[in-house]
Structure 1
Amino acid sequence: MKNLKFVTAKKQNGIYRKTEFRIGDITVGKDFLVIAGPCSVESEEQIMTAAKAVKAAGANMLRGGAYKPRTSPYSFQGLGRVGLQYLSKAGKETGLPIITEVIDPRDVYLISEYADVLQIGARNMQNFSLLIEVGKVGKPVLLKRGMNATIEEWLNSAEYIMNAGNPNVILCERGIRTFETYTRNTLDLSAVAAAKGLTHLPVIVDPSHATGRVDLIRPMTLSAIMAGCDGLMIEVHPSPSHALSDKEQQLTPDQFKNLMEEVRETLTFRDKLYVKKD
């Protein structure tokens, strides 16, 4: 890969030293990261219920959209600052760090007052003014791969953030657009292994957006773990059928609880497999 300075800066003797950094009680890059919560913050009761459910099931970070970039201008766009306040309150009451999406450079410092991690969504992966702005603040950044982006373009976007002064970047594979229409996107698990071989940054997977189908979240989650990911981002809603956005891809709390049991089992198997290989 050409013109990459920071995402490849930790390579020594042909081996990358993994990036690790703290978010609350979590060491990203060392601890397995499980980010869970609803697509959108819809009400204080909804996000509080979701937060308590995902915490009980084993998630260690809470997600929720306060500002929602939607394909249609008539779809639910989020609650804005009120949503941030609800999300922050839920995070404090459960002890979970919170992550939410930033879609406008003008909102970076406002959202940084509430969020522990700033998310750059797929649509904004190459919004370079936004990447530079989040690179200037001291909050970790989760960078989703664009739906039409190559791996090299994805890593160059991370380079923009790091070049602006922020070394704490998490890469997130969330599926790419292909000819397939059965799923929302096509989850590219080869990109997970590739990114981990090309950079020192932690790489997580979002099977919710990658598939857009509840029935496919479980197999893709377990496959992502075996592909070597450092964490997951999974959408969970107290009542998905009543969700104001992406109801087809959000798990119920019970479904998430069952999935987390299998996540732990798969991680144990993966760890034993890697130890055996070494």
Structure 2
Amino acid sequence: MKIGFIGLGIMGRPMAGHLVRAGHEVTGYDLSPVDFEGAFAGSVAEAVRDADVVITMLPADPQVEAVFPEISANARQDALYIDFSTITPQTAQKLAQQWKRTLDAPVSGGEKGAIDAVLSIMAGGSAADFAAAEPVFAAVGRTYRLVGGPGSGQYVKAANQLVVGGAYALLAEAIVLMEAAGVDAAAGLDVLAGGLAASRILDLKRTSMLARDFRPGFRIDLHHKDMGIVLDAARGAGVAVPMGALTAQLVAAARAQGYGGLDHSALLKVVEGLSR
């Protein structure tokens, strides 16, 4: 397929590269010129013109809303629009009202998941459009499901970020507890990873967290934005998320303390500060 890909950042660049290697003709655009396997366009309009599929992978609602008028003005009217960004369900639903074929398809897996093409993709839209998008999803992800109509993918992503943020906070508390008690925290986490407490976060992050290596794979700044979406989605759905609200405050504290550019595992720094 001919694909226009807008947003070649930490996540978008490797995803676009996988699409090229899968045999698709990809034209990408980003505010900052980058090298990738496809063609780099001089504008959004150039990237999306004549594309079968238009993709956005952008930081938040304002960026998606800023480029969408250019997409709608220059893309083919029958093009499939896939938004991999994490935005509010309301914005996703608004875009679906303005374009005939849309999928909100936020992803989980972080930079490593994008590089390894093993992202989890939660899609909202029609079954027909999901079927048409499967070659795209297969190139960049390992798990992809249609979870409902427009906006549904963003609700599932909110649930994902709720669980991920809470898991980081609890892992941080576990590390602080074990280290303060004078036990071998590395050995302790190995045991936790083999039992009911096992998780992907334990598998991927326990070594770097113990080493206080917080180089960003997914920044605190972005998780702060996502926790705002979580709280807004819960309010809209009329449900209480008390643990989510507490996690949102911890993420906000991390950002306020100047850790916004660090990986979201830097919640450990906040928890350490609370115990001093």
Q: TM-score, normalised by structure 1?
A: 0.29
Determine which structure has the larger helix proportion and give its number: 2
Provide the TM-score with structure 2 as the length reference: 0.29
Q: Which has the higher contact order (CA 8 A, sep 6+)?
A: 1
Q: Which of these two proteins has the greater Rg computed from alpha carbons?
A: 2
